[in-house]
Amino acid sequence: MLELHRVGFAHPRGDWLFREVDMAVRGGEVTVVLGPNGRGKTTLLRCAAGLLRPLEGEVRGAGAVGYVPQALGSGFGYGVLDMVVMGRARHVRAYSTPSARDRAVAESALRRVGLTGLADRPYAQLSGGERQLVLIARAIASDSEVVILDEPASALDLANQGRVLALLRELADGGLGVLLTTHHPDHAVSLADRVALMLPAGRVETGPADAMLTDDALGELYGVPVRTVWFDDDGARRKVLAPRYG
């Protein structure tokens, strides 16, 4: 389990982005962080992953973490499989090269994200969505207990968004702790066990998804009216969120 205890962060000579954040990412659960641009979602994830040191509070019990940033370009000529094999770095002894097992684990991770056919392609030649899926495969290959993802569906079309959300649910159901940010509250509705809302003035409120994803809470979060709509989906009731734009 990954725990954030009274974590706070501010940029030099800036206001606090957030303070007093208490949050636990447990195995078997998906925790989704929601908030408008500029509230510090990525910074919070980087603190949780150990890439940034909080100015106050502490991150405990992380162990090895698989971190997936938003898809970036690459100036290097790495192939797709090589990019995924990099996720095995902590399993490779110093001055050694990845083993046959490391490559087999990487190939399995590529299969899970549906990119086996691109294993030999240069990473730099992929689309933004394909790069994002490669980075998720790299995190899976790391065999970490917690996977942290920054906007994992941001560059994906609707079909691939669904694919990624289903994969993240599968990873959590298999015992991993999953922490992610998204600009789509509907993703939290369909996926999250727990939600963190990054509210004004550095407040971060966390709790079970059903209790946090209310019309009033999301309206305060985004500054637009939000209405919950229920509909029948082949006999099962499903909830979607309908914001009022403009």
Amino acid code (one letter) for 189: V
At 132, the pLDDT band (50, 70, 90 cuts) reads confident
Contact 153, 122 (CB under 8 A): no
Above 90 in pLDDT, residue 13?
no
pTM above 0.85, yes or no: yes
User: Considering the chain, what is the average pLDDT of its residues?
Assistant: 89
pLDDT at residue number 168: 93
Which domains occur in the chain, in start order? 2-63+145-243 (3.40.50.300), 76-143 (no CATH)
Above 70 in pLDDT, residue 159?
yes
pLDDT at residue number 241: 85
Interval 162-210: pLDDT, tens: 888 999 999 999 999 999 999 989 999 999 999 999 998 889 999 999 9
* Contact partners, residue 106, CB within 8 Å, separation at least 6: 81, 84, 85, 87, 88, 98, 137, 138, 141
Above 90 in pLDDT, residue 45?
yes
Alpha helix stretches (DSSP H) within the chain? 41-48, 80-85, 100-112, 128-141, 158-173, 185-191, 209-212, 215-222
pLDDT at residue number 12: 85
Above 90 in pLDDT, residue 221?
yes
Above 70 in pLDDT, residue 246?
no
Distance CA 169, CA 28 (A): 9
At 26, the pLDDT band (50, 70, 90 cuts) reads very high
| Burial (Cβ within 10 Å: 0-12, 13-18, ≥19) of residue 168 | buried
CA dist 46 → 50, 51, 172, 188 (Å) = 6, 5, 20, 20
pLDDT at residue number 74: 63
Interval 59-117: pLDDT, tens: 997 678 889 988 666 656 789 999 999 988 877 777 678 888 999 999 999 998 889 99
